[in-house]
Amino acid sequence: MSSRGEKHMVRSVVGYPRDLIGVKLLGSPYVVGQEALDKRSYLDIRYPLEDGVLREYSERDIEVARHLLSHVIEVAKPKPNEEICAIIGVPARASGANKSLLLNIAQEMMDMALVISEPFMVAYGQGKLVNALVIDIGAGTVDLSALKGTLPEAEDQATLTRAGNFVDERLMALIEERYPEVQINTHVTCAIKEENSFVGDNGKSIKVELRADGKPGTYDVTDQVQAACESLVPEIIETAENLIRSFPPEHQSDVLKNIVMAGGGSRIKGLASFIAEKLSTFGEVQVTTVADPTFDGSAGALKLAQELPPDYWDQLGDLIA
């Protein structure tokens, strides 16, 4: 999302041709995002930001991250010789080494870059900066942040690795256990999850078309979808409870009424009310979901960048300039 109104969803995946036939089919040395997944049958697929951070430090992995970041800048359509300043979201508890490595790559192609935690970006965009709790459920991580009127300290934040990708893996395992004859992979599983995810009482059965021995058939996966989605909840609740307790006791009732969910996982049907019910022993709870889980974090980063001049960015987090 840019100051000129450019708005694009880019999946953090890069594909490279496996051989000369792939080079001919692709017509370029690599491709980024959904196009890479669509053409994965003849591409070597790399995920440079697994779990939201750079996990590997080899030159090859850094090169893949460069290709991803270069593509993101390209789709933002900067003008020639225009200064490029960016705020990059990272998991709440990303290590200093990971943030430094990401900034070193950004320094090669940007004039200024700042990394800050993704839940804080959401909080800033929503104006929830005091007595609030943000739960940002992404593909690689679930990030929680307690907002106390200052920049969150390390102890005010948490990163959980059971997130959207974990649900995909869990759902696939449950379907394979129930229907061992079906042919299924992570791409099919992800599509089932994104269309049908829910927790609690769905009120209807979920039937999907899968293939067994190459032949299509209809299978009921209601219980499997519910179990996979609900597997996220215990760790989120435990972490949320700990963060709520970190507020002064006189403010905890306000925090309980000011819980915000964001990220793609916030689209899980019934999740907001399910979490509210699990926290109800603490008092009255209100959990809201951001209007646009895909872009509200980016919108918060853009708002921050526009309201706070880059000269002051060094007060917010790790910076290169």
3-state helix, strand, coil in the chain (%, to 5): 45, 20, 35
Q: Give the mean model confidence (pLDDT) for residues 225-235.
A: 97
* Residue ranges covered by each domain of the chain: 14-120+296-320, 164-230
The class that CATH gives domain 164-230 is: alpha beta
**Nearest-CA neighbor of 170 among 189, 157, 142?**
189
Q: Give the mean model confidence (pLDDT) for residues 31-37.
A: 94
Q: By the 8 A CB rule, do 313 and 319 touch?
A: yes
**pLDDT-derived band at 51, boundaries 50, 70, 90:** low
Question: Going by C-beta distance under 8 Å and a sequence separation of 6 or more, which residues neighbour residue 50?
Answer: 140
Three-class SS of 203-237 = CCCCEEEEEECCEEEEEECHHHHHHHHHCCHHHHH
**pLDDT-derived band at 282, boundaries 50, 70, 90:** very high
Specify the amino acid at residue 315.
Q
Judge whether 14-120+296-320 and 164-230 match in fold. Answer: yes
Q: Give the mean model confidence (pLDDT) for residues 120-144.
A: 96
State percent of the chain over pLDDT 90: 70
**pLDDT-derived band at 94, boundaries 50, 70, 90:** confident
Q: Give the mean model confidence (pLDDT) for residues 148-152.
A: 93
Q: DSSP 3-state assignment of 146? A: strand
Query: What is the homologous superfamily of the domain 14-120+296-320 according to CATH?
Result: ATPase, nucleotide binding domain (3.30.420.40)
Q: What is the pLDDT of residues 153-191, one digit of tens each?
A: 999 999 999 999 999 999 999 999 999 999 999 999 999
